[in-house]
């Protein structure tokens, strides 16, 4: 889950945000009428939250984002030490049905000004959290459990060609050769696509590699592969 800091007002004093999204990702199965995403407020004060979904533009706003989903409620107050569910409903117009599509759920947390600071100059910080929302069509020919078997890693001297031949987005958190992690940061490979990863050392055919990827719950799964 990514977080962005938005400075609403630069003045003495400080009000910070406390609302978090309870999951690191959301999965929308196409045969579901709607799904729910849980928000939690671990602060001592209520927070006003604005939420929207975009198609990958981190600079999106509720006014500019155009997606095939209805999100309710778009604006809500989350009580102190309480929670709130956001409901996501698919509107039925995603044309590609042979693979997953990815969107992003944004939650902007605007904390209230405490009563003892009402009428005073404060610096109010709004934090935007952002998680991936995967839309998964029914009837995909490859099961999720077989996804990793459709991953190939091809040695290309100073690089590795990563080919995802499955209809699912593959999120790699680590790719190890021995104890060395070849990834400097997480890597998401789209369905039926490939990407080239530059590495410092030499990768040779047959070299054992350890692939660590994330499942639907954001948990790490490790699998062994040999470079081709």
Instruction: pLDDT band for 10, please (50, 70, 90 cuts).
Output: very low
**Dist. CA 41–CA 110, nearest whole Å:** 12
- Domain-ending residue, one of 108, 136, 164: 136
> Could you tell me if 18 and 131 lie in one domain?
yes
- What's the predicted TM-score (pTM) here? 0.87
Q: What is the pLDDT of residue 25?
A: 96
pLDDT one-digit tens code per residue, 46-58: 889 999 999 999 8
Show the domain range for 65.
2-136
Total count of domains within the chain = 2
Instruction: For residues 5 and 130, give the distance between their C-alpha atoms in angstroms, rounded to a whole number.
Output: 11
CATH number of the domain within which 216 lies: 2.60.40.10
| 205 class by beta-carbon count within 10 Å (0-12 exposed, 13-18 middle, 19+ buried) | exposed
Q: Is the pLDDT of residue 124 over 80?
A: no
Does residue 5 register a pLDDT over 70? no
pLDDT digits (tens, 9 = 90+) for 147-160: 999 999 999 988 99
């Amino acid at each position: 889950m990514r977080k962005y800091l938005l400075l609403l007002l630069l003045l003495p004093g400080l009000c910070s945000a406390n609302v978090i999204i309870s999951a690191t990702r959301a999965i929308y199965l196409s045969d579901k009428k709607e799904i729910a995403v849980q928000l939690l407020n671990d602060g001592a004060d209520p927070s006003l939250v604005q939420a929207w979904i975009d198609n990958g533009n981190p600079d999106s706003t509720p006014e500019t984002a155009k997606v095939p989903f209805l999100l309710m409620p778009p604006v809500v107050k989350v009580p102190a030490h309480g929670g709130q569910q956001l409901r996501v409903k698919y509107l039925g117009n995603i044309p590609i049905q042979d693979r997953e599509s990815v969107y992003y759920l944004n939650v902007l947390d605007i904390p209230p000004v405490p009563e003892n600071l009402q009428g005073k100059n404060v610096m109010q910080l709004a934090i935007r959290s952002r998680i991936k929302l995967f839309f998964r069509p029914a009837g995909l020919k490859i099961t999720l459990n077989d996804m990793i078997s459709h991953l190939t890693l091809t040695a290309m001297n100073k690089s590795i060609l990563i080919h995802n031949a499955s209809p699912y987005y593959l999120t790699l958190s680590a790719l190890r050769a021995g104890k060395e992690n070849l990834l400097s940061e997480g890597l998401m490979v789209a369905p039926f696509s490939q990407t080239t990863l530059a590495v410092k050392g030499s990768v040779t055919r047959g070299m054992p590699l350890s692939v660590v990827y994330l499942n639907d719950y954001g948990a790490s799964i490790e699998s062994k592969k040999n470079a081709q």
